[in-house]
Amino acid sequence: MKFISIPLISALLVLGFPLALQAKPTQAEALHRAFAEISQQTCDDRSILQAGINYSVCTASAGDKGQYRLISASSTIVNYGDGIGYWYYPNGKVAAIRFFHTDELFMFDGGGKLQAELIRAQKVMVNGQEQFQERSIRANFTKSERDRLEKLAQDGGKDILSKFKKQPQSSTNETPSLWSHCKRMIDENVVRLEAIPNVKVTTSSRFSKLITPYPDRSANLDRRYVFAMEGRGVETVWKSVDLMTDITQEITNACVGTAAVTFGRDRTADSATVGLFPNGEIKRFTCSADFDDLTRTRTPISWGQQACD
């Protein structure tokens, strides 16, 4: 069985933003829905019983040629029910951890940062009266809690996965199903851009090699997507940092090997680039040093910079 990494589903977009200590009800609902979306995916379960512990992984097909993605993994003590469960984003990162003996459930963002504890709806006693408590979240943690949980997420349930002969492996090969998802995300964002007055995305839009190599070679990111645009509204796009950041998040999640998105004016060098950084942040690139006309040289451009002159 071969596992591959596939683009993040919409839940990652929900989880990618840090929560305030006192989260709004809408944020709590969004996180609960995100976990439901992740945990309710259809998958094929495999189990192994060793020394009174049941190890299980659940996988789903991710294309042809026997490629699969990991949905969940767990270990439980037989006859007791104590144990731990992991749910994964389609890129293989841990999305959630549940401790079965306490029923505590914690959510993480795509970079492994602890986001919140999800508290299910329940009946509670308040001043001797039974009341219904809506599902909510807890987003304030001590440093020791955060360190312990994020270490578990980083480990990713390796002990469980090691019980199975073939463990998850990442791949940058883009199967037809992955390309279909990527193309759909590009098309949806073309519509978003063209919703801005006087913006037209042209047929010159395409994937292109990165101008500066991505700093983490193990990430296998070597391309960017270029939206070539025309019209007076292009400058409005460049001023809309939140929009460009959101589009870049969706494209880098959906399109294998993609580290950045360039929003350019067609047939010119004028552009703004937004990219993924090794710490998981999505940020707009800054201008590098200008080309020196006297020496005919330019200071080497590092990741996160672009030529603006």
Question: Taking the model in full, what pTM does it have?
Answer: 0.47
- Within 8 A by CB and 6+ apart from 114, the residues are 106, 107, 108, 141, 146, 149, 150, 153
Residue 149 CA from chain centroid, whole number: 18
User: When comparing pLDDT for 228 and 129, which is higher?
Assistant: 228
Other Cβ atoms closer than 10 A to 120:
11
Tell me how many domains the chain contains: 2
d(CA 217, CA 18) in angstroms, rounded, equals 27
Write the DSSP symbol of residue 78: T
Same domain, 276 and 146: no
Same domain, 24 and 134: yes
Same domain, 137 and 7: yes
Q: What is the pLDDT of residues 294-309, one digit of tens each?
A: 766 667 889 999 988 7
Q: How many CA atoms lie within 13 A of 252 on its CB side?
A: 29
Q: What angle do CA 20, 242, 5 make, to 5 degrees?
A: 80
Same domain, 210 and 90: no
- Within 8 A by CB and 6+ apart from 76, the residues are 53, 54, 56, 82, 83, 100
For residue 296, the model assigns a pLDDT of 65
Q: What is the pLDDT of residues 18-36, one digit of tens each?
A: 333 344 447 888 888 888 8
Helix (H, G, I), strand (E, B) or coil at 298: coil
Sole residue written with tokens 């990162």: 93
pLDDT range class, residue 38, cuts 50, 70, 90: confident
Write the DSSP symbol of residue 176: H
Same domain, 263 and 189: yes
Range of the domain at 231: 176-306
Six-digit token pair at 211?
Answer: 């101008």
**244 domain-assigned:** yes
83, 76 in Cβ contact below 8 A?
Answer: yes
Same domain, 41 and 94: yes
Candidate from 58-67, 165-174, 244-253, 293-302 with smallest mean pLDDT: 165-174
Residue type (1 letter), 243: L
Same domain, 112 and 234: no
> Which DSSP helix (H) or strand (E) runs through 177?
helix 176-194
Among residues 175, 187, 263, which one has the least CA distance to residue 225?
Answer: 263
d(CA 17, CA 24) in angstroms, rounded, equals 13
